[in-house]
Amino acid sequence: MNRKNSNSQKIFIGRSEELNLLEGLSRSRRSALVVIKGRRRVGKSRLVAEFAKNKRFLSFSGPSPIKDVSAQDQRDVFANQLSALFHLPPFQFSDWLDGFAHLSMHLDNQSTIILFDEISWMGSKDPTFIPKLKIWWDKISEQKTNILLILCGSVSTWIEDNIIKSTALFGRVSLHLTLNPLSISESYLLLKKNGVQASPYDIFRILSIMGGIPWYLENVQCDETIDQNIKRLCFSPSGLLANEFDLIFHDLFDKRGSVYKELITILAEGMRDYNEIRKSMNYPAGGGLSPYLNVLITSGYVNKHQSWSIKTGKPGAKSLFRLSDNYLRFYLKVIEPLLGKINLNAFRDAPLSSIPGWNSIMGIQIESLFLSNRQKVLKSIGIHPQDVVMDNPFIQHSTEAHKGVQIDYLIQTSTKTLYLCEIKFRKSEIQSEVLTDVQKKVEKLSIPKGYAVCPVLFHFSGVSDSVLDARYFYRIIDFNDFLKDD
């Protein structure tokens, strides 16, 4: 909004690196263009509002992409926002250059931050929007040295294609930020600041469902137990997370939603390579599936990494795809199959433990949360990131030479050490069976000559004396320590 922006009432956590980069640009005494993209609800607009606190801030947002919205509708929304900001009588414009000219009339010698939020919704219906934005920006950035224009959006592929890779704006973007979910410790701090009190075990249950998405976490109520919060948000007819999935797909993937839905449904079952995905979908070879996967990757919902050879330490030929978004997996595996009962409010008085496969899915969700915080994982083991050759979940397929095995998380370092990480999410103390489980994995793993294997156990509720006395694990790490400040 125009005037000094004050957003001090709402709690803001993290993003110190991003704020420092933005502050550096604002002190540079030159106008600059910034692009911020990231998953829906990850806190892009909130970051800009925090940065613009106590500064002159002009915020504009495109209309939600409802059916039949026209290019003129998008221009009218911008005109209405201009009228509201500067107390002008209602007006219309039919050319974006006229709209930008109206904005220029209100830019004086005062340093100003301008946000075009959900940029793809502002001008996606008008193919001249970006070229005309470029014309206006070139002119205003030459005339003034005190304007920071921030283009922000959730439709990351549109931003990539029309801004980052655009010939119109080539060489004009001073800062490009991709906003990731909050870390475990930042998420916990946000919950605490909002008055949520719960055991570490319960905190991890809620984080395993929501990931580090600030807006989801802000909807956890401090006067409810974690179970009550989960049931209200996920298993009630009006629950935020019971209905969020459709909003994500409507906003981002409406045109070919069925293809994207099938893709993430397959990946919700586990990591897959391209051919495995293609065969599961009965998609023809060379049928053009890669662009859909790339959209999901760019949008922040899927991760891609290469398989690798331990012997060479080099990436293999196969690309592996993993659904990295905790909420999407939880929705597909738990909420969606129960929507009929949820709409009947069947879970109002039922315990969460009555949901089929509850403990199993919690373990899978925790593993995903673990992988999203791997920098802290490396630090907890004592590994410097520069020493890592490769790290990821590891699948060794069965052949005549060796048996198949799947490792939760394998870290290969430059010192020819393999850190085999086992993650156990249980309420009770870990007993000696874990020794047998991990020993079997080590025996199956094809280990090149000269390599050492260091098993690492991550737990949530303690380990028995028999596990400690065995002195088998290189490290036994309490995952609850991840709640502490970074």
Tens of pLDDT, residues 140-190: 999 988 999 999 988 888 888 889 888 888 889 999 999 999 999 999 999
**pLDDT tens track for 199-212:** 999 999 999 999 99
One domain, residues 133 and 231: no
Specify if 262 maps to a domain: yes
Specify if 11 maps to a domain: no
One domain, residues 403 and 483: yes
Dihedral angle computed from the Cα positions of residues 202, 203, 206 and 210, in that order, rounded to the nearest 10 degrees:
-170
Specify if 6 maps to a domain: no
One domain, residues 127 and 148: yes
One domain, residues 158 and 272: no
One domain, residues 238 and 304: yes
What was the pLDDT predicted at 135? 96
Contact 350, 227 (CB under 8 A): no
Specify if 10 maps to a domain: no
**In the predicted structure, residue 478 carries a pLDDT above the cut 70:** yes
For residue 280, give its domain range.
Answer: 181-372
One domain, residues 148 and 237: no
What was the pLDDT predicted at 10? 79
One domain, residues 352 and 384: no
Backbone torsions φ then ψ of 458, nearest 5 degrees: -110, 130
Q: Which of 229, 305, 315 is nearest to 274 (CA)?
A: 305
pLDDT band at 299 (very low <50, low <70, confident <90, very high): confident
Helix (H), strand (E) at residue 38? strand 32-38
**In the predicted structure, residue 6 carries a pLDDT above the cut 70:** no
Q: Whole-model pTM?
A: 0.91
**In the predicted structure, residue 66 carries a pLDDT above the cut 80:** no
Q: How far apart are CA 454 and CA 14, in angstroms?
A: 33
Last residue within a domain, chosen from 331, 349, 372: 372
One domain, residues 313 and 398: no
Specify if 7 maps to a domain: no
One domain, residues 170 and 289: no
What was the pLDDT predicted at 328? 96
3-state SS track over 357-392: CHHHHHHHHHHHHHHCCHHHHHHHHCCCHHHEEEEE
Specify if 3 maps to a domain: no
Structurally, how many domains does the chain consist of? 3
What is the residue-averaged pLDDT of the chain? Answer: 92
- 3 state DSSP class of 174: strand
One domain, residues 394 and 320: no
Provide the angle, in degrees to the nearest 10, between the axes of the packed helices 16-26 and 44-51.
Answer: 50
Q: How far apart are CA 238 and CA 258, in angstroms?
A: 24
Q: How far apart are CA 163 and CA 315, in angstroms?
A: 31
pLDDT band at 8 (very low <50, low <70, confident <90, very high): very low
Q: How far apart are CA 456 and CA 286, in angstroms?
A: 41
Last residue within a domain, chosen from 372, 394, 429: 372
- Please report, for the domain that includes residue 102, its CATH number: 3.40.50.300
**Which DSSP category does 224 fall into?**
S
Last residue within a domain, chosen from 321, 355, 372: 372
Q: How far apart are CA 151 and CA 404, in angstroms?
A: 47
- Please report, for the domain that includes residue 228, its CATH number: 1.10.10
Specify if 2 maps to a domain: no
**In the predicted structure, residue 2 carries a pLDDT above the cut 50:** no
One domain, residues 362 and 403: no
What was the pLDDT predicted at 168? 85
One domain, residues 157 and 290: no
Specify if 422 maps to a domain: yes
**pLDDT tens track for 74-93:** 999 999 999 999 999 999 99
pLDDT band at 123 (very low <50, low <70, confident <90, very high): confident
Burial (CB count <10 Å: 0-12, 13-18, 19+), residue 250: middle
Token look-up 């193919």 returns: 127
What was the pLDDT predicted at 148? 96
- Please report, for the domain that includes residue 438, its CATH number: 3.40.1350.10
- 3 state DSSP class of 439: helix
